[in-house]
Amino acid sequence: MTRDVPVLASGGCHIFGGCGFPSPGLQSFEFKPLFSIGSFHFTKPMLIAVICALAVIVFFWAAFARPKLVPRGVQNIGEIGILLVRDQILRPSLGKKGDGYLPFLTALFFYIWLMNLMELIPLFQFPAMSRIGFVWPLVFVVYFTYLYLGFKHQGFPGYIKNMIPWDVPKPVLIILIPIELARFFIVQPFTLGVRLFANMFAGHLLLLIFTLATWYLASFTVGLLFAAGSFAMMFFVFGLELLIDLLQAFIFTTLTAVYIASSLEAAH
Amino acid sequence: MSGKGNGAGPRFAAARQAAAENRAQGLDIGWTVFGYLIAGMLAYGAIGWLVGRAVHVSLLFPIGMLVGLAISIGFIIYRYGRQGALTRPSPRGNAEGDDR
């Protein structure tokens, strides 16, 4: 490949550098260990998860360690965050009697949101939720919480009984029972986790594709147009991801509240 | 403050709360419907696979999935396809305006 075309970016893989487009893939989600203790390898996504957890704890600690009647500074921001979760997520599903779950839902919402936002923050630039191993623990916490609450408030037979839609004709009921049980015990937690994972995974891939393409195509030729197009798309996807990060945290937490509500009282 | 001003706050809070409740209910119903579609295929696909394994007819697995999908679609139409069927009995109903 010719080298006499002036390129805008040196280093990395370039269209005039003699290499093909370094398309992102599963390898983009693998990281070398930052350090290892025996067979345990501490990687960048783990560091991000720890930083996010600490950030949420420190923020709410700073906001409410010494709360004032008239909120000032960080307490103001903390109260806005808590009221957002209470009025937009908790109360619409659980009502006032569900206020006891506010700390759980607030922690869940802000932890997921921050973890998602990490894909847009320079240096981190990776959503840990795009590794499904970080999603399943949250799903299991939610799953066992609403199962426990369901068995506690409705009793084991009552909880199972309330999953079944008794308002349908008896012959239809028999064929619906396997579907209801599969939906409740398998599909519901599975979709809760996969939705968050898949959105973060796809978002990160999109960002990588347009970032790499901008670099790969940049040159003082007609390719500059394609690089500029890719650059514009990168900003578009960035804006989109900003919205999706919030939306996914919102959906996960809202559905958690809905599932807890159905455990506290029968929905059918 | 005028009477009009006094009424606008609670009205706005009530409208905002109704919108939030609609959003939560919409999310719930949307994902429940999606869940039924997947669960139908999963449950009857599994039954078809087990029966097919016992009688050595591998075709029963895809047939089971299709039957499950058909049952799910039928039930979704029965449950959610009618006018006014989207208003499920709500355990909420007691959330009022901001009481900070």
The 10s digit of each residue's pLDDT in B52-100 is: 999 999 999 999 999 999 999 999 998 888 755 555 544 444 444 444 4
Predicted pLDDT at B99: 44
Q: Which of B32, B47, B92 sits opposite A94 (nearest CB)?
A: B92
Confidence of residue B6 (pLDDT cuts 50, 70, 90): low
Q: Which two tokens stand for residue A89?
A: 């997520």
Give the separation between CA B95 and CA B47, rounded to whole angstroms: 43
Give the separation between CA A159 and CA A170, rounded to whole angstroms: 20
Domain presence at residue B98: no
- Asked if A209 and A24 touch (Cβ cutoff 8 Å), the reply is yes
Between chains, do A267 and B40 touch, taking CB under 8 Å as contact?
A: no
Decide if B42 touches A, using CB distance below 8 A: yes
Once rounded to an integer, what is the mean pLDDT over residues A181-201? 93
Domain count, chain A: 1
Measured between beta carbons, which residues in chain A are less than 8 angstroms from residue B64? Answer: none
The 10s digit of each residue's pLDDT in A234-243 is: 999 999 999 9
The chain-wide mean pLDDT, for chain A, equals: 88
Domain presence at residue B89: no
- Asked if B96 and A96 touch (Cβ cutoff 8 Å), the reply is yes
Between chains, do A183 and B36 touch, taking CB under 8 Å as contact?
A: yes
Domain count, chain B: 1
How crowded is residue A64: how many other Cβ atoms within 10 Å of its Cβ? 14
Cα angle, residue A132 at apex, residues A128 and A133 outer, rounded to 5°: 85
The 10s digit of each residue's pLDDT in A71-118 is: 888 899 999 999 999 999 999 888 888 899 999 999 999 999 999 999
How crowded is residue B44: how many other Cβ atoms within 10 Å of its Cβ? 26
Predicted pLDDT at A144: 94
Domain presence at residue B57: yes
pLDDT of A164 higher than 50 = yes
Domain presence at residue A30: yes
Between chains, do B44 and A178 touch, taking CB under 8 Å as contact?
A: yes
Nearest Cα of chain B lies from the Cα of A154 at a distance, in angstroms, of: 14
**How distant, in Å, are the alpha carbons of A26, A44, A62, A113, A136 from that of A30?**
7, 9, 35, 22, 18
**How distant, in Å, are the alpha carbons of A143, A145, A147 from that of A150?**
11, 9, 5
Between chains, do A254 and B21 touch, taking CB under 8 Å as contact?
A: no
Domain presence at residue A69: yes
Place of tokens 């999109």: A206
Predicted pLDDT at A251: 94
Between chains, do A92 and B92 touch, taking CB under 8 Å as contact?
A: yes
Paired residues of A4 in beta bridges: none
Domain presence at residue B88: no
Predicted pLDDT at B23: 82
- Asked if B37 and B21 touch (Cβ cutoff 8 Å), the reply is no
- Asked if A54 and A221 touch (Cβ cutoff 8 Å), the reply is no
In this prediction, what percent of chain B has a pLDDT beyond 70? 74
Predicted pLDDT at B3: 46
In this prediction, what percent of chain A has a pLDDT beyond 90? 58
Q: Which of A94, A179, A186 sits opposite B40 (nearest CB)?
A: A179
Between chains, do B75 and A92 touch, taking CB under 8 Å as contact?
A: no
Cα angle, residue A140 at apex, residues B33 and B29 outer, rounded to 5°: 15
Q: Which two tokens stand for residue A36?
A: 């290892």
Q: Up-side HSE of residue A228: CA atoms within 13 Å toward CB?
A: 6
Cα angle, residue B37 at apex, residues B31 and B38 outer, rounded to 5°: 90
Measured between beta carbons, which residues in chain B are less than 8 angstroms from residue A172? Answer: 75
How crowded is residue A73: how many other Cβ atoms within 10 Å of its Cβ? 10
Higher-pLDDT residue of A12, A158: A158
A residues 82-141 lying closer than 8 A (beta carbon) to B: 83, 87-89, 91-97
List the single best residue of A85, A91, A143, A256 to mutate versus B (max B Cβ within 10 A).
Answer: A91
* The amino acid at A185: F
Q: Residue B39: closest CA among chain A residues belongs to which residue?
A: A183
B90's CB contacts (< 8 A; 6+ apart) are B21, B25
How crowded is residue A249: how many other Cβ atoms within 10 Å of its Cβ? 23
Q: Up-side HSE of residue A20: CA atoms within 13 Å toward CB?
A: 2
Domain presence at residue B61: yes
A41's CB contacts (< 8 A; 6+ apart) are A33, A35
Measured between beta carbons, which residues in chain A are less than 8 angstroms from residue B31? Answer: 191, 255
Between chains, do A180 and B39 touch, taking CB under 8 Å as contact?
A: yes
Measured between beta carbons, which residues in chain A are less than 8 angstroms from residue B44? Answer: 178-179
Domain presence at residue A33: yes
Helix (H) or strand (E) holding B5: helix B3-55
* The amino acid at A154: Q
Domain presence at residue A16: no
Between chains, do B42 and A187 touch, taking CB under 8 Å as contact?
A: yes
Domain presence at residue B85: no
Give the separation between CA A83 and CA A104, rounded to whole angstroms: 14
Between chains, do B91 and A94 touch, taking CB under 8 Å as contact?
A: yes
Once rounded to an integer, what is the mean pLDDT over residues A62-68? 87
Domain presence at residue A15: no
Residue A157 is part of which domain span?
26-264
Nearest Cα of chain B lies from the Cα of A23 at a distance, in angstroms, of: 32
Domain presence at residue A13: no
Nearest alpha carbon to residue B87 among A179, A257, A263, A267: A267
pLDDT of A17 higher than 80 = no
Residue B73 is part of which domain span?
3-80
Measured between beta carbons, which residues in chain A are less than 8 angstroms from residue B98? Answer: 83, 87
